[in-house]
Structures are given as C-alpha cells and as structure tokens.
Chains A and B, each alone.
Chain A
Amino acid sequence: MRRIILFTLASALWAQSPNAKNGQRLFEIKACYQCHGWQGQGGLAGPRLAQTKLNLQGFVAILRNPPPSQMPPYRATVLTDAEAADLFAFIQSIPAPPPVDTIPLLKN
C-alpha cells in the first residue's frame, strides 16, 4: 500500500515535469520566444514572462485575447488549453536568476 502511494506521488511529480518540458518545446515551436526571449527574459518586442505574477487563468486569458499589441491572439484551434497549461508550467519552471550582484560581469 505504502509502495503504491509512493508510486502515485512519484508519477504525479513525473507527470508535472514533462508538462513543463513540453511547454518549453511549445514555447519554441509556437514562437513565443521571438518576442519574449528564449527563457522568457523579455526581448525588444515583448515583456518578461519569467517569474510571472499571473496565474494560469490570467495567463490563458491573455493568450486568447491579448491587449492590442504585437502579441497575436492564440485561439484554441492553434493552442489548446492543455498546451497553454504546459506553457504556463514551463514559464513557472524558469529558475529565478541569481541576484545581479553575485554575477561579476553584471556589476556596475
């Protein structure tokens, strides 16, 4: 019994990381990186997504109906809810950057 519980827990954890991994793949093939940077760091054409304060619902809402900007709307036909959730998982999985002061090359 204990074994089974452990197993379920492990597979649940395991199921989460492929989502983020798939999200990373989607972030590339849906071309989100073009404006938001390869790791959501933000680029010249789109804001930073790494360490987003949005929740999944807010995130999906923006994908479906972004404010008038360079950001295209992604309807469910080109980006399913499940894919959106994977993308969100990826964005949440982006590690917080080290503090700038700990990176000698970025010290002023």
Chain B
Amino acid sequence: MNRRGFLKGAGAAAGIAMAPQVAVGQTPVPVEGTTPVKPGSDFMVEVIRSLGIEYCAANPGSSFRGIHESLLNYAGNKMPELLTCLHEESSVAMAHGYSKIEGKPMMVMVHGTVGLQHASMAIYNAWCDRVPVYIIAGNILDVNYRRGNAEWVHSVQDCAAMVRDYTKWDDNPVSLSHFAESAVRAYKISMTPPYEPVLIVADGKLQEEPIEEKNLRIPKLVMTAPPQGDTAAVKEAARMLVAAENPVIVAGRMARSQHGMELLVELAEFLQARVQDQRLRMNFPTAHPLYGNPGTLPLNPNVTDADVLLALEAQDLWNFTHRMTPLNRFGMESQSTLKPGAKVITVSAVDLSHKSNYQDFGRYIEADLAITGDAEATLPALIEEVKRALTADRRRAIQDRGRKVVEANNESRKRHREQAAVGWNSSPISTARLSAEIWAQVKNEDWSLVSWDRMLSSWPTRLWDFSKHYQFIGTHGGSGIGYGLPAAVGASIANKKHGRLSINIQTDGDLCYAPGALWTAAHHQIPMLNIMHNNRAYHEERMYIALLGAKYDRSPETSDIGTALKGPNIDYASIAKGFGLYAEGPIENPNDLAPAIRRGIERVKKGEPVLIDVITQPR
C-alpha cells in the first residue's frame, strides 16, 4: 500500500475527523516529490560524528528514525556503530558499562516518551555512579507533524523533564544550528567531572525535513580541564596528613584512569597510609601491601583507627563514620565512630553538581577541610605538598606505621584464605571456590572483571590480583537491578578492541530483568565469559524480611516467599542458548568448574559470548 492509500484506509476505518482546513470526506493530499536531497538528520549525525563516539545503543523507535536512517545510509554505520538492544534500560546500562572501561560516553537513542521511561532507571544508575552517557531522545514537537496516534502518544512537550533530576544537562533544540551547539555542549558537560549523563532532544521535523539553514557549522569541541582543589586548601590537607599518627585514605569514585590509580599509590606510599577502597572504581591495586582489609563491607570500611581521614570521592561517608541503630532494633540513634578529635578531609567534584529531589548525595558531612575538586586532578598537587611537608622525623615515623599496615594486610590475607577453605568441596558451590576457580583460569590472560563482586562476598577482590584500571568496573551506582548483564556487555564491547578477556560473574536475579542483552552480545559477537552466580533468590531482600520477622517476634521462616527464585528453577543455560550463545550448566559439583571454564574461555577467545550456569551458595 502506498502512503496515500495507507492514510485513506486508516482514516476511513477509524472514522478519524480530518483537519479543519480539509473538508470532510476529502483525503489530505500529501505533498508530492518531497524526498529531500539531504535531511536534517544527516547534519545531526555529522555533529555526533564530530564527537568521536564509537557506538550507539538503541532499541529502534520511530521518533528517531531519521537519525537511525542517517547513521546507516549517510554515515555507513560507523562512528558510531549501532548496537541492537532489546530494552532501553539495557541500552543505557550498556553505555554505563562501556564508559567504565573506555572513560568516555557511548551514545544511546530512545523514544522521547516510552523509551525514555524504560531507560530512566538506568539513567539514574549512571547519574549516581557519575558516569557519562550521551542520550538522544526522539520527539515530535510540532503537532502538524504527528502522523497518527502512535506519534501523539510518543510526543511530549518537555521530554527531558522526566529525567532532569538525574541528568546533568539537557536541551530541546529548535534548529539544526541549535542542535549542533547543544550537542557539542552536552558532550563537554557530560565529560567534565563529575561525569554525568546528558540528554539532547532530536525533534522529528528537524530530523526529517530538508536542511534549509544556511552556513551550518559544527562548533569545535573543547574539553574542560577537570576542576582541581584550591591550592591553599591542598597545602593544608598535606600538612594535616603528614602530621597525622594514623591517616587513612578512603577511595570511592576516585580513579578515572590508570593514571589516577598510580597517583593514589604514590600518595599512599609517601604517607604509608592504608587505603580503604570502596570498590566503586578500580582505585588501588588489591595486592598492594597498603590495601585495606577487603574482608569487611567495602562500602562501609572500618576507619575507627584513623586520626585523619582523607575521603577521595567517597560514597556515603557519614554512614561509615557513624553507628546507627540497626534494623533489628526500634528507634534511631546514631553516634560517630571516629576517634575523638579525628579530622576529616574530603575531596570531591560531586559538590559541584547537586540536585534536590533524589537523595543520592547522602548525609551532610561535617568535614574539617572540604575541598571541592576532582580527586584525580587534585592528587598531583597534594602529592607535591606532602613531599614538601615530609621532614626526616616524620619519614621515620611513617615507615614504622607502614610496617604495621603491611602486617595487618598479611594477616587479613591469611584469614581470607582460611575462610575460603570452609565448604571448599560443598554443593551448592561456595562463592569463594567459584572465585578461586575462575581466577586459576584467567590469571595468565589479559582479563577484565566486568561485574561487581559484592554479591560474592567480594571474593574476587580478596583472592585475585587486580592491578589495572580496566580490570574492574565497580558498581551500578543507584542499586537499580537489571544493570549487571547489559553493563557487562557494554564493558566487554569496550574490551573487545583491546583483545581483553571479559568475565562477567552474573547474578541470577539481575539477569532476569532483561536477558535480551545476551542476544545483543551474540548478535554483535561480543566475546565475554558469563558465569552465573545462581543462588536462586533475592537474598538481600530475603534477609530483611527474616530480620523483621525476628524483630517483631513473628517468623523469619516465611522470608523466602516473594524472594526465592525456585519452583520452577530457572534454566539459564537454556535461556542463553535460546539467545544464540554457547552455554553449559547448571554445574553443581565444584570439580566440574575448571574444565567448563576452560571450554568457555576457548570459545570466548574465538570471539563469542558464552554462559556457564553455576549453582552457588547465597553469598
């Protein structure tokens, strides 16, 4: 059916009232010969190409069909290359994971309404995790251009409103030159620490009508030098750190790059200070003797022994410097756990970009010295000032302190190994055994763990030797589940061109949100080894229910209702096969792990994604 016929048919069948200028019974006549020589979307794509974006993740949507078509037929599906996604939440999470490895944004296209609604949780995660994502939302602002119901329900007056609370900047350009300026500005804003998601609306009419504007040009992208802490404040911080008896460094979202890690090592070594890594970024080599005990909750490190606490882009600092009434008791009291007189220094760029509605900023910190600035950018000056402040006396004292930190570190490593041995041969397989088995197979490869490891009681952090920035991608930021699998796919895409072996230890509950990301991995031949941590429940939530049951003197025993993923058990190998992956499992005998992982790695090395289902202990 041609377009005219389609309109006639649709109008007649639905009895649609025609526009007032058209007499009833008459069919609106489409303007003939409108095929543009060059649609606006070609220019938009040209602008996007100027930003050096490698990939565009999208689930197709009619409101951005113009850009989609231009990406393919004008730009040849290169820079950016389209990644076919099966859910907008996965598109954004893929961009999130990609950025963790590559340090720059992936583009994501979404419908201005339903697509953005789907994407919004993942955008919130990226916001909380201070990660750049470059979002283009399609929309049709001009009522005259909305062809039928689908385009009315997919149109919105203020598209970005829905996610404005957790994007750094957005715009709704009304001309192509406006688009060019805002698109370049958005990239720059997104990539100025704190990195955060941005959104530009691509109007349908601008995309699909011919380019009429004269003298169109693309503004030059000038990246901002990251904000560095005030010189006098940095000097004071150095003085406090050098004078301290036991300074402790907490690293949150600190290292943006390998260089950031190296700077932190340098600072820690000069001070011989313990580093408590919250594992939100790859901040500090886990085998370094100054690495703080990872056997405790990394997000809430024990810093009660510090007399000066240096918090570098730390998350929820208040929470781990205070004790609160636990959930199992009534009421709420809190008190500081810091030593009396202990001083707190904070360095963070997040202070530069706060919003009000969502509460991810955490509790107000009564710091003794608060430095606004990106920690990685501030470290070189801090290191210089520390070097300057170090007298011979202080150097001696510092060496003694260092020896104690190293001893404590050795002791905790020994304890971890002993703990890992408990239940070594048991089934369900212990998370320590699973982690050790994977490590044995990957340690001689150029590997990258593209998942968080807190759900495995941080066993990889405790047993593996993480030394490179790309070897760990931290976490989701906003605890929005459904992030894990697509973020792993995105990170693996980034690792692919470097030839790295990507390993995703995948929790079962997370995979069930949007398993379609497996298909994206198969379709685009993304090499990655997915190993299921299949513990058949949302155990964290189960714990809360059990806890409350005990607290109210009722029953902790009902806690699996609404939390367990049993009856029927979910067969992840079959799911993965259905999406076109090579898959094995479920594996219940720990002795079967090593050969299965080896077989998996062989295939991954040939360039395909693989999934191995493993039945594991809960934590």
Contact residues in B for A44 (Cβ distance below 8 Å): 295-297, 454, 457-458, 619
Closest chain-A Cβ to B315's Cβ sits at a distance in Å of 16
Q: Identify which of A29, A43, A98, A100 contacts B619 (C-beta below 8 A).
A: A43
CB of B542 within 8 A of CB of A94, answer no
B559 within 8 A of A: yes
Q: Identify which of A39, A42, A70, A105 contacts B436 (C-beta below 8 A).
A: A105
B366 within 8 A of A: no
Q: CB-nearest residue of chain A relative to B414?
A: A100
Q: Identify which of A29, A30, A42, A108 contacts B419 (C-beta below 8 A).
A: A42
Contact residues in B for A45 (Cβ distance below 8 Å): 297
Q: Identify which of A30, A98, A108 contacts B556 (C-beta below 8 A).
A: A30
Q: Identify which of B423, B539, B557 contacts A41 (C-beta below 8 A).
A: B423
Contact residues in B for A21 (Cβ distance below 8 Å): none
Stretch at the interface among B62-70, B91-99, B425-433, B509-517: B425-433
Q: CB-nearest residue of chain B relative to A46?
A: B619
A40 within 8 A of B: yes
Q: Mark A20-36, 1 if CB is under 8 A from B, else 0.
A: 00000000011101110
Contact residues in B for A40 (Cβ distance below 8 Å): 422
Contact residues in A for B419 (Cβ distance below 8 Å): 41-42, 48
> Given contacts A30-B546, A31-B543, is CB(A38)–CB(B619) below 8 Å?
yes
Stretch at the interface among A1-9, A11-19, A54-62, A72-80: A72-80
Considering the chains assembled together, what is the distance between the CA atoms of A90 and B486 in angstroms?
Answer: 40
Interface residues in A, total, Cβ within 8 A: 37
B421 within 8 A of A: yes
Q: Identify which of A39, A68, A73 contacts B422 (C-beta below 8 A).
A: A39
**B residues 372-428 touching A (CB-CB < 8 Å):** 413, 417-424, 426, 428
Stretch at the interface among B159-167, B346-354, B547-555: B547-555
How many B residues are at the interface, by size bracket? Answer: 35 or more
B328 within 8 A of A: yes
Considering the chains assembled together, what is the distance between the CA atoms of A31 and B549 in angstroms?
Answer: 11
Contact residues in A for B326 (Cβ distance below 8 Å): 68-70, 72
Q: CB-nearest residue of chain A relative to B535?
A: A38
Closest chain-B Cβ to A16's Cβ sits at a distance in Å of 21
Considering the chains assembled together, what is the distance between the CA atoms of A39 and B426 in angstroms?
Answer: 9
A85 within 8 A of B: no
CB of A97 within 8 A of CB of B421, answer yes
B617 within 8 A of A: yes
Considering the chains assembled together, what is the distance between the CA atoms of A72 and B555 in angstroms?
Answer: 12
Contact residues in B for A50 (Cβ distance below 8 Å): 422-423
Q: Which 4 pairs across A and B sit closest by C-beta, in order of nearness? A: A31-B546, A72-B328, A41-B422, A97-B421
Q: State the A residues within 8 Å of B (CB).
A: 29-31, 33-35, 37-45, 48, 50, 68-75, 77-79, 94, 97-100, 103, 105-106, 108
Q: State the B residues within 8 Å of A (CB).
A: 295-297, 326-329, 413, 417-424, 426, 428, 430, 432, 436-437, 439-440, 454, 457-458, 463, 539, 542-543, 546-547, 549-551, 553-557, 559-560, 617-619
